[in-house]
Amino acid sequence: MSSPIPRAPLAERIEELLAPGGPLPIVAAGDPVLRTGTERYDGQLEPALLARFVEALRTTMHAAPGVGLAAPQVGVELRIAVIEDPAPVPQEMRLVRGRVPQPFRVLVNPSYEAAGPARAAFFEGCLSVPGYQAVVARHAEVRLTGSDEHGRPLDEVFGGWPARIVQHETDHLDGVLYLDRAEPRSLCANQAVLERWTQPTAEEAARALGFELP
């Protein structure tokens, strides 16, 4: 039996990934890198390479477009993610969903815990599961800990839509996709969501499709 081919060092693989320039290819569901979890970041990359990788994640997130992107989504098993949300939504939706603008942030070694008992359920999508959305019940408020790309500690409570974003991206770092937490009967093609379920809440979809909300 042949031995497995050893992988190139992480820094070398990231250099190769960044070499073409521009947005990085996004890994789709079915690739093991999205399921195997990540390695804690502990200085594996030189500062200049880390900065280039973070900027590539940001460029890729904007190009997709999305409001968050985790390193495994570009094939890198490091515990790093980026988020940014200009929240370009109608006022009613902003109020109901708590979707407020979020500046660009880098999350290094993040983890979260519920900051209260409340849960909220809304349609959610993922750049690694293109074409579909499903309703996911998540903590309405979470405490996120970790650090930024400069090693400065992060300990902050997020609520509303920002709480959903940080849970979604941190889950990616644990090998969890949003579909693992979704209500199966709510799964919709993007076109169906646009045609039927653009209401600020998921209540009408729950009645029509036969699932319960928290």
User: Please, which residues have CB within 8 angstroms of residue 214's CB and are 6 or more apart in sequence?
Assistant: 119, 120, 121, 137
What span, in angstroms and rounded, lies between the C-alpha atoms of 90 and 86? 12
Catalytic residue among 77, 169, 183, 203: 169
Catalytic annotation on 169?
yes
The annotation status of 126 as a binding-site residue, yes or no, is yes
Distance of CA 186 to the CA centre of its chain: 20
The annotation status of 62 as a binding-site residue, yes or no, is no
Q: Are strands 102-114 and 141-147 parallel, antiparallel or unpaired?
A: antiparallel
54: left (phi over 0), alpha (psi -120 to 50) or beta: alpha
Q: Which two tokens stand for residue 74?
A: 């570009």
Provide the annotated active-site residues: 169
Task: Please give the annotated binding residues for Fe cation, written as ranges.
Answer: 126, 168, 172
Task: Please give the annotated binding residues, written as ranges.
Answer: 126, 168, 172
